Amino acid sequence: MSAMTSALRRRRHFDVTPYLLVAPAVALILLIYVYPIVRVVIDSFLSPTAERGTTVGLANYTFVLNDPVFWKSAQNNAFLLIGVPIMTILALVIAVILFDQIRGWRIYRTLVFTPYILAVPVIGVTFVYLYSYNGIVNEMLRAVGAGGLAKDWLGNPTLVMPSILSVIVYRELGFGVMLFLARMASIREELYEAAMIDGAGWWARLRYITVPQLRTVITFFVVIELITMLSWVFAYVYSMTGGGPAFASSVLELYIWKYAFAYRAIGIASAVAVLLLVATSVFIVVQLLVRGDESDTGEE
- Of residues 6, 55, 82, 212, which one binds another protein by CB under 8 A? 6
User: 46 φ, ψ to 5°?
Assistant: -95, 170
Positive or negative, the Cα torsion across 272, 65, 227, 174? negative
**Span 16-45, contacts to another protein by CB under 8 A:** 17-19, 21-22, 24-26, 28-29, 31-33, 35-37, 39-40, 43
Nearer CB in complex with another protein: 145/186: 186
Is residue 79 part of the contact set for another protein (CB under 8 A)? no
Which residues are within 8 A (CB) of 21 and not within 5 positions of it... i.e. 6 or more apart?
none
Number of H helices, E strands in the chain: 16, 0
Closest distance to another protein from the beta carbon of 210 (Å): 9
Question: At closest approach, how far in Å is the CB of 78 from another protein?
Answer: 15
For position 62 contacting another protein by CB under 8 A, the verdict is: no
Q: Which residues of 146-173 are buried (b: 16+ CB within 10 A; e: fewer)?
A: eeeebbbbbbeeebbbebbbebbbebbb
Candidate residues 86, 146, 182, 204; the one interacting with another protein per rule CB under 8 A: 182
Size of the site for another protein (CB under 8 A): 145
Residue 89 touches another protein, criterion: CB under 8 A: no
Name which of 32 and 82 has its Cβ closer to another protein. Answer: 32
Write out the E strands in the chain.
Answer: none
Contact yes or no for 219/290 (Cβ under 8 A): yes
Q: Out of 141, 157, 162, 211, which residue is the one contacting another protein (CB under 8 A)?
A: 157
Binds another protein by CB under 8 A, chosen from 73, 175, 225, 249: 175
To another protein, the closest distance from the beta carbon of 120 in angstroms equals 6
Q: What is the full DSSP assignment across 209-258? A: IIHHHTHHHHHHHHHHHHHHHHHS-HHHHHHHTTT-STTTT--HHHHHHI
From the CB of 161, what's the least distance to another protein, in Å? 12
Q: Which of residues 218-257 bind another protein (CB under 8 A)?
A: 220-221, 227, 230-232, 234-235, 238-239, 241-242, 244-248, 252-253, 256-257
Range 272-291, binding another protein (CB under 8 A): 273-274, 276-277, 280, 283-284, 287-288, 291
Please select the residue that binds another protein; options are 89, 125, 146, 204, rule is CB under 8 A: 125
